[in-house]
Amino acid sequence: MSEIDFDDNPIYTEPAPEGWQELFLKKIGKRRFDAILRRMHLEKKTKFKMRDVAKVIIGTADVFREDIIEILEGEKPSYISQELKGKISQYDSPESFPAELFDEVIQTLSQPFSHYLDKKLGFLELEGRVREFVHFVKSCFRYDPYWFAKRRTIIAAESHRLNQFLYYERISGFYAACEDIQVGIYIPAPTENGVRQYYRVTAHLVTGGGQIGMILVPATRFMKLKTLRVTRGSPSPPGVLDFASYVMTDMEPEIGRIGYESGLPYQALIDEMVGKIDMEVGYSIGGTMAQWRVADNPHDLSSLWLYKSPGVPKSVWEKFNEKTLSRKSPLDLYIFQAKGDIVDFAGDVPLGFQANEMTRVSLYELVIPGLIPHRYAFCNPDRIAFEEVEKGKIDQFLSNKSKTFIERQRKKIGRHLVLPIFSFWQRHFGKKLSTRLNQLRGLHIEVPSENGLNHSLKHYVLLEK
């Protein structure tokens, strides 16, 4: 068969048409086809339905470094033009591509089934809030990689047009929360001089103790991007990865400490294998963990971005203020708090309180449309209003009486109710029930080969000190 016949209202429970696998193999190659099947948890299926075909097509929208390496090594997918193959063959690795060529390659590799993908995305836009709620309920009980892949495909094009304020929120509030994210995937970044830029996930960390994050590097050496460490916030559905540990670090007296300390055994590996990290970005409790980390070593970082993050204990922000005095240049600290968001009242105060001259603090209050101001990764960025707090009023804004009262109640509930319940749960049931967490737990990181072309993937699982 030369094409799959999808009508305007595909029935996803119907059997997949004969020959669809042969079409995909010819179109995208066996290695990429098998990789998508694994990511969508379809590798063991023998009887496929139309819904499975749709999953594979959505999966082609994600591009990995190995997909480009395959072409450099001589693979010839049918949807790659001879002209583009000729351009690619002039370079020895994806990192050496000019930014314009790299964007052309990504656009081509992510659209081998562009006709159907455009139609499918149209259906997704019409699914609306009812389908969103259905997926939320399902995610309380099982992991669905198709859900993350669909959402990522919808917002990918929009990510290029975001300014840096909105982009870092998007990367920490959405991309870092995609539980199907794997090392080697390319993520769209804001446009620079009319050219779309991209990051590559070079490391992914799942501590199993309340910290999940990733490290992003520029896709090519010609892209004007900085190495970025991103820490995700607390998951909302209870069925998602490491839910119990996140609840515990949300509600412990020294908020964020459990999650932060769970990542300490991996820090030496990250320092050795990744090198200098220019920026830290954290969303919600992920921003609190980033504050703990930066307070320990604030010297190498150029900027810290906190999105709707609780504060840290007094000992942490005092240590940060003391250590930053020895910096050679000021650290840029950006704090974004949403009007009406109760999460901003947790913790003591964020870094930036009583800051010295070596910390340049910019504080923004956001007005978020909708009923839940803490989450806005999927709303229209054009509707978000920013208001910068005057420099002389930052300390007053960060510490107020309402914040003190709410923090006292959080500590009481955490100490007497949440921590005992979830500690008991983890001791007696956590390891038995968290099969996926046990599989993903650890540091997944790229290791370049001697020739610089092929990267191997290492997986380290370490115990807390």
User: How far is residue 375's CA from residue 377's CA, in Å, rounded to a whole number?
Assistant: 6
Handedness of CA 309, 315, 318, 323 (dihedral sign): negative
Closest CA to 215 of 229, 194, 235: 229
pTM (two decimals): 0.90
Instruction: Please tell me the predicted confidence (pLDDT) of residue 279.
Output: 96
Q: pLDDT > 70: what percent of the chain?
A: 85
Q: Is 92 exposed, middle or buried (0-12, 13-18, 19+ CB in 10 A)?
A: exposed
Residues 197/189, Cβ–Cβ less than 8 Å: yes
pLDDT in tens, 339-370: 888 888 899 999 999 999 999 999 999 887 76
% of residues, the chain, pLDDT over 90: 46
Confidence of residue 239 (pLDDT cuts 50, 70, 90): low
| pLDDT higher than threshold 50 for residue 287 | yes
Looking at the DSSP assignment, which residues form a beta bridge with residue 281? 230, 305
- Is residue 64 over pLDDT 90? yes
CA 414, CA 258: separation in Å to the nearest integer?
Answer: 13
- 309-335 residue pLDDT tens: 999 999 999 999 999 999 999 999 999
- The CATH code that applies to domain 159-448 is 3.40.50
| 137 — pLDDT class (breaks 50, 70, 90) | low
Tokens representing 410 are 């959080």
- Report how far apart, in Å, the C-alpha atoms of 17 and of each of 14, 20, 110 are: 9, 6, 23
Distance CA 256, CA 412 (A): 16
**Average pLDDT over all residues of the chain:** 85
pLDDT tens profile 149-174: 877 887 777 788 888 888 999 999 88
- Beta-carbon contacts of 237 under 8 Å, excluding residues fewer than 6 positions away, are 136, 139, 140, 243
pLDDT score of 257: 95
The tokens of 78 are what?
Answer: 């049918």
Computed over its alpha carbons, how large is the radius of gyration of the chain?
Answer: 23
In this prediction, residue 105 carries a pLDDT of 94
pLDDT for 465: 47
Domains of the chain by residue range: 159-448
Q: Which two tokens stand for residue 125?
A: 């836009």
Determine the length of the chain.
Answer: 465
Range 297-319 average pLDDT:
94
**Predicted local distance difference test score (pLDDT) of residue 126:** 45
Residues 243 and 83: their CA atoms lie apart, in Å, by 48
Angle between helices 99-109 and 65-72 in degrees, nearest 10: 100
CA 385 to CA 415: how far, in whole Å?
Answer: 37
**Model pLDDT, residue 117:** 62
| Cα–Cα distance, 42 to 145 (Å, whole number) | 11
Residue 144 has pLDDT above 80, yes or no: no
If one counts every other C-beta atom within 10 angstroms of the C-beta of residue 396, the result is 10
pLDDT in tens, 6-36: 554 455 678 888 888 888 888 888 889 999 9
Which is higher by pLDDT, 281 or 130? 281
pLDDT of residue 325: 95
Mean pLDDT comparison of 171-175, 292-296, 403-407, 429-433, highest-scoring range: 292-296
Neighbouring C-alpha atoms within 13 Å toward the C-beta of 251: 20
